[in-house]
Amino acid sequence: MSTQAPERPKAQQPELPAADRARLEQAVSLPRARFLMGLPVAVIVLIWSFNGAQFNFAKLGEGAVNMGEFLSRLFPPDFSKFGKIVELLIETFQMAVVGTVLGAMLSLIVAFAASSNISPRWLYYPARWIMNVIRSVPDLVFALMFVSAVGLGPFAGILAMTLGSIGSIGKVFAEAMESVDRGPMVAMQAVGASKRQVIQYGVLPQAAPLLVSYTLLLFEGNVRGATILGLVGAGGIGLELTTAMRMYDYGHLSAIIICIIVLVTAIDQGSALIRKKIT
């Protein structure tokens, strides 16, 4: 018994426009010569990068024994200082909340200036340049700078996260605004709407789901980043993590890592739920 579907008569086949037919045919066409020429170049660059970075699979295999020994020292975890871990995790969480809110607000302001469909050229290029400069500096450097300015503690970490957010999430905000449909904007400009009205009613309603989603992503990153900033004394649980490593207190170190994983997982699940609700 044949399982093939009966062939549709030619007279009943839908007529495709020429542009759609060309697009469908292009999807199954063989790679173009430009792609075939670029592939060897990409392979050469990849090999060059592996050699330059001294990536060595043999050395990785030799070090696997040491890695296994280090991981074995982490068990069993020691939760005798669980109260202190929770207290520092709460401080880390609070740092991330404040840093994310301030960073998102400032990033939104900078993003208006860095959006090519909103901002004039004389403002667009300086805003992009400022974000590039900020993004090129690691958050750890910002943390060291603010620790020297305002002293040890979470305040320095919050300032570092806020400034670092402008470079990272500001660029994403600007690109989200640039990707909105220009139809409503053109229609509003045609009836004499002001720049503020175009942004308020034409840009923000379309970009809002992406902006909220990226802000949640920034929050997740800031929670993880706050644990790193603590390494230089900028508050959070990072300092406790460093101290446990220096004191070879592997049980305590393991307990800290487990608690951080639980916190990040909970935030990830909560963020996913919120993103699902708004999209």
* 10 pLDDT more than 60: no
Q: Maximum distance among all alpha carbons in the chain? A: 82
The pLDDT tens digits of the residues spanning 11-38 come to 455 566 676 666 666 655 556 677 777 8
pLDDT band at 267 (very low <50, low <70, confident <90, very high): confident
The pLDDT assigned to 13 comes to 52
Q: Angle at Cα 156 formed by Cα 154 and Cα 248, nearest 5°?
A: 60
The pLDDT assigned to 247 comes to 87
The pLDDT assigned to 61 comes to 83
The pLDDT tens digits of the residues spanning 140-167 come to 888 888 888 888 888 888 898 888 888 8
26-35 LR contacts (CB < 8 Å, sep 24+): none
Radius of gyration of the chain (CA): 26
- The answer to whether residues 177 and 127 touch, using CB atoms and an 8 Å cutoff, is no
* 3 pLDDT more than 50: no
- The answer to whether residues 257 and 213 touch, using CB atoms and an 8 Å cutoff, is no
* 1 pLDDT more than 50: no
**79 three-class SS:** coil
Beta-carbon-side half-sphere exposure of residue 174 (alpha carbons within 13 Å): 26
Question: Cα–Cα distance between 226 and 264 in angstroms, integer?
Answer: 12
Mean of the pLDDT values across residues 209-221?
85
Which amino acid type is present at position 52? G
What does pLDDT average to over the chain? 82
The pLDDT assigned to 102 comes to 92
Which amino acid type is present at position 158? I
Residue in 199, 207, 223, 264 with CA at minimum distance from that of residue 103: 223
pLDDT band at 189 (very low <50, low <70, confident <90, very high): confident
Q: Which two tokens stand for residue 43?
A: 């392979």
Write down the pTM of the prediction: 0.74
